[in-house]
Structure 1
Amino acid sequence: MKAAVCREFGKPLSLEDIDLLPAGPGEVTVDIKACAICHSDIFFIDGAWGGTLPAVYGHEAAGVVRSVGAGVTAVKPGQPVVVTLIRSCGHCISCMQGVPVSCEGEVPLDSASVLTSKSGERLVQGMETGAFAEAVTVHESQIVAMPTDMGFDVGSLLACGVITGYGAVANTAKVPPGATVVVIGAGGVGLNTVQGAAIAGARTIVALDISDVKLETALRFGATHAVQAAGDDAIEKVRGLTGGRGADYVFVTVGAKPAFQQAFPMAARGGAIVLVGMPPSGVMAEVDPGTVAASNQRILGSKMGTSRIGVDIPNLISLYRQGRLKLDELITNRYPLDGINEALASTKRGEALRNVILF
């Protein structure tokens, strides 16, 4: 099968024929129909988080089940599914507590890649998925069925960007109706954070970004106000829009140090700073712990929106069908697999909310 393989950090991906091992016990092989491009893929491809090469990245996908391994009963061949990177064992403490994104256990795929080159060289299954390829074999915990009449391009968005942004609001922060919310970053994840806050009934939703175009988009996705993040008076503007006290919840959805530093003075007393975006390894932010303690503030980490995909993805599909969740509007462009380098470059330049690879 064809796959986009990264053999050197920072270099264009090359299309190669690779072999994919069939589904083993508890595993599912899926023919990929669409894979959206997330900035996390770019960070890994550029070596920002380390890693091992050669590798196949791509983790925001949807497709059709080709085959299932022994013991798999949740899905069957021919069924359309969303494919996520959230792999969980189901029996460790974190899984038993309902937090599969923090799984502490292991499954066989964790130690044995299912990808090999024609010469037999092992390839890393990037982000436990490797969906810049015509097919993937993943653990059954990574799969959620999707409706047969839903587009695969739209369905792929539910695998990462949507559940990460929406889940940060609904699961991690549990934003109540009437709250004031600030969202720093109006990219794909940020817009879904804005949507999540609007659906939760937040009274004030302030979006910040350095792109005026993205700020205009945030207003269409439910933000009540838009503030230019690069302005010297951004903090003062946010405080002015929140009655002078700051926001109850400040979500940082981009992996940039200035955004983290900017978040704390925007939070109200008793407020929460929710860290959603992940910067490259080694980026440090400075916090005055005395101020955080004296203001009774909270710092919350939110990995993949603390999602339980079997619960959250069907709920998001329902919201989409009700017209309450925008998905089609998140897609900027669609590309074939052989256009993946152009799609990645466009995303890296900040030109796209989500570019999607179609197979």
Structure 2
Amino acid sequence: MQKIKAALCREYGAPLTIEEVMLRAPQMGEVEVTLEAVAICHSDISFWQGGFGGHLPAVYGHEAAGRVSALGEGVHGLSIGDPVCVTLIRACGHCDTCGGGHPTICETPYDSVGQSALSLEDGTPVMQAMASGAFAEKMVVDQSQVVAIPESVPMGAASLISCGVITGVGAAVYASGITAGQDVVVIGAGGVGLNAIQGARIAGARRIVAVDMLPEKLDAAKEFGATDVVSAEGKPWSEVKKILGRGADAVLVTVGVAQVYDMAPRYLARGGRIVMVGMPHGDKTASYSPLIMADSGQAIVGSKMGNVVIKRDIPWMVDLYGQGRLKLDELISGTWRLDQINEAIADTLTGSARRNVILFK
């Protein structure tokens, strides 16, 4: 066991406290990563607010990058010192969904308390949220969650790949099923939304319409590849249909607001699909007209982490970044120290940040 500093949550909604916690050594199939960057995702904030349930005390954070600092038995393809992306996608590799090529929805349960590598000095277990616990100096995770990356990728940019980028790009490229020439609406032009816009561009969409409340976010959407932008005020679906000449083939909802899901079908063309990317709190619900959607041949599909396969897709996205075809550095709104994490969360909650990143060096 070793002592590390971590941002600990002891009460939902209360400021995180920087404390020393215990981190056990990696066991069979596990990897210890010394972190250099972790981005703040809205899922972390939802956990901190108590919207996703869980246990306390807890360490959140899951959008991370760093270097391998220890290896458990049976780890293959990684070496001490390797720069890596660390994701929350813990995949067993042998259940039906993993075997079917869908590791993001692995069916093997993970006990974020009982299997946690973290504890207090008195032995009290600390929840390793989302199988990660990256608001800390180090983390121990399953080898399935880790992908080696080139030395040339800055750690701040690399951390974004681990969640926001694969979630947004993957939602457009894989989950939406869009094909070249189809039209896409992306609701929400925050960090994930901007990546969904990039993904729609990469997939060959004809028109990519971004919808958001904030003018500065709509300006950013244009920078990242939106062909058109529409304010979310009033009845934005009417304006979208004027632009497209019909409804959209895919509507990607990247904000975790249930009321937005209520409105999403209004943007659709016949045969169109709603892609659920943003995650509202667990007590929130949305409603639809099954008759209208069934009669129009429309669909609602879930997208967890963009339906990606990280060993395949992270190297692909890193290569796109190296070619200048995928923006990463431009996603970073601000950088902070671990002891500034509460300020970084507050800044994220203003809604103006693309991604705030905690840097450890």
Note whether the superposition's TM-score is higher than 0.5: yes
1:188 maps to which residue? 191
8 Å contact from structure 2 (residues 112, 130) kept in 1: no
What is the identity, as a one-letter code, of the residue corresponding to 1:319?
L
Matched, 1:26 2:29: yes
2:227 corresponds to which of 204, 224, 238 = 224
Question: Is the CA contact (8 Å cut-off) linking 1:178 and 1:203 kept in structure 2?
Answer: yes
Which letter does structure 2 place at the counterpart of 1:235? Answer: W
- Runs (4+) of structure 1 exceeding 2 A deviation are 106-111
Whole-Å Cα distance in 2 between the matches of residues 43 and 110 of structure 1? 18
- Aligned counterpart, 2:52: 49
Distance in 1 between residues matched to 2:77 and 2:48, nearest whole Å: 33
Deviation at 1:119, TM superposition (A): 2.0
**Paired residue for 1:239?**
241
> Aligned equivalents of 1:346 and 1:110: distance in 2?
29
CA–CA separation in structure 2 for the residues paired with 1:162 and 1:4: 24
| Percent of aligned pairs sharing the same letter | 52
Inter-partner Cα distance in structure 2 for 1:10 and 1:188:
22
Partner of 1:355: 356
Tell me how far apart the structure 2 counterparts of residues 283 and 107 of structure 1 sit (CA, whole Å).
24
Query: What pairs with 1:35-74 in structure 2 (closer than 5 Å)?
Result: 35-74=38-77
SS of match in other structure, 1:178: coil
Please give the alpha-carbon distance, in whole angstroms, between the structure 1 residues aligned to 2:343 and 2:109. 36
Q: Work out whether 1:131 is the aligned partner of 2:128.
A: no
Q: Distance in 1 between matches of 2:189 and 2:220?
A: 8
The 5 A counterparts of 1:262-301 are: 262-301=263-302
Name the structure 2 match of 1:12.
15
Q: Please give the residue correspondences for 1:85-104 in structure 2 after superposition, counting only pairs within 5 Å.
A: 85-104=88-107
Partners of 1:117 and 1:265 in 2: CA distance: 50
CA–CA distance in 2 between the matches of 1:106 and 1:181?
34
> In 1, are the aligned partners of 2:116 and 2:126 still within 8 Å (CA)?
yes
Hey, what's the Cα distance between the residues in 1 that align with 2:28 and 2:329? 35
Change beyond 3 A, Cα 1:177–1:110: farther
Contact 2:191 2:355 survives alignment (8 Å) = yes
In the alignment of these two chains, the number of paired residues is 357
1:325 aligns with 2:326: yes
Residue matched to 2:305: 304
Cα distance in 1, alignment partners of residues 42 and 98 from structure 2? 27
How many Å separate the matches in 2 of 1:320 and 1:282?
Answer: 38
Q: Which stretch has the larger CA shift, 285-294 or 115-124?
A: 115-124
CA distance in 1, matches of 2:194, 2:153: 21
Deviation at 1:262, TM superposition (A): 1.7
Deviation of 1:110 (Å): 7.4
Gaps of 5+ in 1: none
CA distance in 1, matches of 2:134, 2:190: 22
Calculate the aligned-residue CA RMSD, in Å: 1.1
Matched, 1:83 2:55: no
The C-alpha deviation readout for 1:210-258, integer Å capped at 9, x for no partner, is: 111001000000000110012x231110110111x21011110001122
Q: Is the 8 A contact 1:89 1:106 kept in 2?
A: no
Offset, 1:351? 2.4
Q: Partner residue of 1:257?
A: 258
1:174 Cα deviation from its structure 2 partner:
2.6
- Residues 60 and 157 in structure 1, CA contact (< 8 A), matched pair in contact too: yes
Distance 2:76 2:258 in 1: 44
Counterpart Cα distance in 2 of 1:356 and 1:324: 22
CA distance in 2, matches of 1:98, 1:74: 20
Cα shift at 1:156: 0.3
- The answer (yes or no) to whether the contact 1:109–1:139 under 8 Å persists in 2 is no
Gaps of 5+ in 2: none
Q: Does 1:248 align with 2:249?
A: yes
User: Alpha-carbon deviation of 1:261?
Assistant: 1.6
Q: How far did 1:107 drift?
A: 6.3
- In the alignment, is the contact (CA less than 8 A) between 1:269 and 1:297 conserved in 2? yes
8 Å CA contact 2:110, 2:131 repeated in 1: no
Separation in structure 1 between the aligned mates of residue 119 and residue 283 of structure 2, nearest angstrom: 31
1:343 match: secondary structure: helix
SS at structure 2 position matched to 1:334: strand
Once the two structures are TM-superposed, the CA of residue 113 in structure 1 deviates from its matched residue by: 1.2
CA–CA distance in structure 2, aligned partners of residues 311 and 170 of structure 1: 14
Please give the TM-score of this superposition, normalised by the length of structure 2.
Answer: 0.97
Residue type of the alignment partner of 1:242: L
Q: 1:109 Cα deviation (Å)?
A: 7.1
Contact kept? 2:113, 2:127, Cα under 8 Å: no
Separation in 2, partners of 1:109, 1:193: 29
- Counterpart code for 2:286: A
The amino acid across from 2:221 in the alignment is A
**Structure 2 residue matching 1:85: 3-state secondary structure:** coil
Instruction: Tell me what 1:316 maps to.
Output: 317
For 1:323, the aligned partner's letter is G
Q: Is the 8 Å Cα contact of residues 90 and 142 (structure 2) preserved in structure 1?
A: yes
Q: Deviations over 1:287-328 (max 9, x none)?
A: 000000110011111011011100110010011011110000
Cα distance between partner residues in 2 of 1:112 and 1:305? 26
Structure 1: which amino acid aligns with 2:264? A
